[in-house]
Homo-oligomer: A and B are copies of this chain.
């Protein structure tokens, strides 16, 4: 938790918050905070600034806060991701949030196991929890938008062309394709496949919607590693 992220319900006055629960526990156990300590704070969806701990007990922390700094810029990116297995999903949500992806589409693919769609980690509160952890890690205040698309074809045929319009469309896919471009400043729509990759039909449909296949070398990376590697290369 490199940023104490505050929500509306935490505020008891414009410049004062009261914390309990997970964040209080973290202040005690990880930060080993004491009254008088100052720490970085951010208001969910708003500015960042600093907080000064006025009182701290096992039950609650009272913190005086002020905000003066905008959160870091997001990447100019829409990321389409074939739904990863549940354990990986949680980590990928944190990574996506930490790296500044503003919009994530979790998409079906032939190689996504049907059971993955049943995971409780896809419930809105569970997704939000992981996104918040990513924001706290990276020091950001703005939640990414997450869209769930359980059917590949209608999404790719009906909605993707508009979503990708005016952007550089890319599909990460191993094989004899151009290398992933570097240091782009234009907006990008990037699709990353499941473990085992997109099937050729899917690559073709994504291509028809305006996304060009690009590769990142002959090594097959786990989804989480591929996400951070592709984003670091692109921007």
Q: Is A159 an interface residue (CB 8 A)?
A: no
A221 pairs with B183, CB closer than 8 A? no
Q: Is A6 an interface residue (CB 8 A)?
A: no
B219 pairs with A100, CB closer than 8 A? yes
B222 pairs with A98, CB closer than 8 A? yes
Q: Please indicate the chain B residues that have their CB under 8 angstroms from the CB of A224 in the complex.
A: 224-225
Interface 9-residue window, one of A76-84, A120-128, A132-140, A200-208 = A132-140
Which listed residue, B216, B220, B228, touches A229 by the CB 8 Å rule? B228
A219 pairs with B139, CB closer than 8 A? yes
5 nearest A-B pairs in the assembled complex, by CB-CB distance: A229-B232, A138-B219, A228-B228, A232-B232, A232-B233
- Rounded to whole Å, the gap between the CB of A41 and the closest CB of chain B is 15
Q: Is A45 an interface residue (CB 8 A)?
A: no
Q: Please indicate the chain B residues that have their CB under 8 angstroms from the CB of A218 in the complex.
A: 72, 139
Q: Please indicate the chain B residues that have their CB under 8 angstroms from the CB of A26 in the complex.
A: none
Q: Is A175 an interface residue (CB 8 A)?
A: no
B183 pairs with A222, CB closer than 8 A? no
Size bin of chain A's contact surface: 20 to 34
Interface string of A203-215 (1 = CB under 8 A from B): 0000000000000
Q: Please indicate the chain B residues that have their CB under 8 angstroms from the CB of A232 in the complex.
A: 216, 228-230, 232-233
Can you add 8 more A-B contacts, CB < 8 Å, to A137-B220, A224-B225?
Answer: A72-B218, A94-B222, A98-B219, A98-B220, A99-B225, A137-B222, A225-B228, A228-B232
Q: Is A178 an interface residue (CB 8 A)?
A: no
Residue in B closest to A136 when the chains form the complex, CB atoms: B220
A139 pairs with B99, CB closer than 8 A? no
Interface string of A84-109 (1 = CB under 8 A from B): 00000000001100111000000000
Which listed residue, B140, B221, B225, touches A219 by the CB 8 Å rule? B140
Residue in B closest to A72 when the chains form the complex, CB atoms: B218
A221 pairs with B182, CB closer than 8 A? no
Q: Is A50 an interface residue (CB 8 A)?
A: no
B98 pairs with A221, CB closer than 8 A? yes
Q: Is A217 an interface residue (CB 8 A)?
A: yes
Q: Is A167 an interface residue (CB 8 A)?
A: no
A99 pairs with B137, CB closer than 8 A? no
A183 and B224 CA atoms in complex are apart in Å by: 21
